[in-house]
A and B are shown apart, each in its own frame.
Chain A
Amino acid sequence: MGKDEFKKKLLTIIEKQSNVVIKPEEFTTPLPELGIDSLHAVMIANDLEEIFDVIIDDREIKKFINVNSIVDYFEEKYMD
């Protein structure tokens, strides 16, 4: 899966877990400023684990600062 496809999937998961729709100009905005808190982040991580069959240590969630940082994290750890 490429970066763009992953980002699209990620935005769907974020919307499902937090009811927040993130626009492209908000991809670098800190998630809490968009109304996404640590509770949402845990659930987002769970969905990512299930979909991509990986295990994310929840202490890594602190690296999920904004949409782009989640994409970068996944790219670095799990994408070819």
Chain B
Amino acid sequence: MSSQKSFFDLFIPQERKDIFAPLNDFNEYLKSSIAAKEYAYRRTLQTPTSSKIQVAEFGQMIMMGSNNYLDFANNPQVVAAAKKALEGYGYGSGSVALLGGTFELHRKLETSIANFYQREHAAVFPTGYSANVGTISALVQEGDLILMDMYAHASLVDGATLSGATVKFFQHNDIKHLEKTLTRLRDKFGGVLIVTDGVFSMDGDVCVLPDLLSIKQKYNARLLIDEAHAIGIIGKEGRGTEEYFNRIGEVDIITGTLSKAPAGIGGYVTGSSKMVEYVRHFASSYIFSTSLPPPVVGGLIEVFHILETDLSHKAKLEHNIERFAGKLRSLGFNIGETITAIIPIIIGDEPRTKTMAKEMAEAGIFCSAVVFPAVSKTQSRLRISLMSSHTDKEIDRVLELLEQLGRKHGVI
């Protein structure tokens, strides 16, 4: 067998006669990574996910790596609603949504989502990933052009691939680059879809919505934004990117996940009735997937009720963001342009990032190291996610440790 390969090498296609050919190399990589205690995936939680968790082999940890931003995953109101749905409708839905898997609960959830975004209609998918893949592949076809922000989520890229359209990326939030590409290519294609995250998952910054809206008008294109990390978090009432920019109702297609701030599982597309019904009947990931289980749907309906009526969770999260991000910036950490609960602490190189993540874990802080190929080689980072339920004391403990490690490793 060849000498051990790096993680990057494993992404380079090799000539082979057996699809299992790369398995040995990957397993060697995996074993050595685990032996070096660098492997930080699939840690095992032994308690409900919240700001404090119990983790196998680590004990109690402060959770700084969850998308459960508003701590709804174990919120008593949400759990009670999920239990009620479990008792009333059972554990599974038994079919795909178009056939026997649509309960009155699913219709209520879709109405809640549409109302939240002030849209005519919404369709609920089994995951956020499948919502993006299904929506794009249903609406876009060969001969069309997809223009996508370089930092857009992988599910959007996969949806674009499945659609058969030509895909061009534009530099992150770079409207000049987007317009230059449109000027050059618009006439060579039929339909054009511009695709972006509302809030970007690795950087916590926000798309340049007003510019995107102008461009889409100017070049007769449609705009899709993925609100996965925006829902419940930005905008005066937490209604996401459109509300943040005071442009409610102007985006053609809004997708998102129900697994981050809403803390369950599922995805959605919302917009005009015509668009949503078309997607519902042409998206393979919707047509061929069993609908969400009733307890999850019951919990999510309650989540939307809380989002509509109680902004205290959002206010507490905003307090935590200000306390945490403000202090990190004053210490001299590079945390980019984030304004949300996603705080990227950019270390730069991979070895220091992995060492710091390991030392954080040893000190009882659960956070993720994000390295190449998820981000470019010079942008390795610790990705911290704040929650509304973090106490000032917990936040200060994490800040104290970051300051200590940042100085030790020459980051600040």
Q: Which residues of B contact A12 (CB under 8 A)?
A: none
B181/A39 in contact, CB under 8 A: no
Q: Which residues of A contact B160 (CB under 8 A)?
A: 59
B168 at the interface (CB under 8 A from A): yes
Q: Which residues of B contact A65 (CB under 8 A)?
A: 12
Name the interface size band of chain B: 20 to 34
A58/B184 in contact, CB under 8 A: no
A58/B169 in contact, CB under 8 A: yes
A37/B169 in contact, CB under 8 A: no
A59/B161 in contact, CB under 8 A: yes
A32/B8 in contact, CB under 8 A: yes
A72 to chain B, nearest CB (A): 13
Q: Tell me the total A-B contact number using a CB cutoff of 8 A.
A: 41
Main secondary structure of the interface of B (DSSP, over half): mixed
- Contact digits for A52-71, partner B, Cβ 8 Å, 1 yes 0 no: 00010111000001000000
- Contact digits for B361-381, partner A, Cβ 8 Å, 1 yes 0 no: 000000000001100111000
The distance in angstroms between the C-alpha atoms of A38 and B181, with both chains bound, is 17
A32/B167 in contact, CB under 8 A: no
B376/A39 in contact, CB under 8 A: yes
Main secondary structure of the interface of A (DSSP, over half): helix
- Contact digits for B144-182, partner A, Cβ 8 Å, 1 yes 0 no: 000000100000010011000011110110000000010
B185 at the interface (CB under 8 A from A): yes
B184/A50 in contact, CB under 8 A: yes
A49 to chain B, nearest CB (A): 8
B16 at the interface (CB under 8 A from A): no
A39/B150 in contact, CB under 8 A: yes
Residue of B nearest to A65 (CB): B12
B377/A39 in contact, CB under 8 A: no
The distance in angstroms between the C-alpha atoms of A50 and B185, with both chains bound, is 10
Q: Quick one: given A39-B376, A42-B150, are A30 and B184 in contact (CB under 8 Å)?
A: no
Apart from A32-B377, A39-B171, A59-B157, what are 19 other A-B pairs with CB-CB below 8 Å?
A: A30-B8, A30-B9, A32-B8, A32-B372, A32-B373, A33-B8, A37-B377, A37-B378, A38-B150, A38-B376, A39-B150, A39-B172, A42-B150, A42-B169, A42-B171, A43-B171, A55-B166, A55-B185, A59-B167
What is B's interface to A at a CB cutoff of 8 Å?
8-9, 12, 150, 157, 160-161, 166-169, 171-172, 181, 184-185, 188, 372-373, 376-378
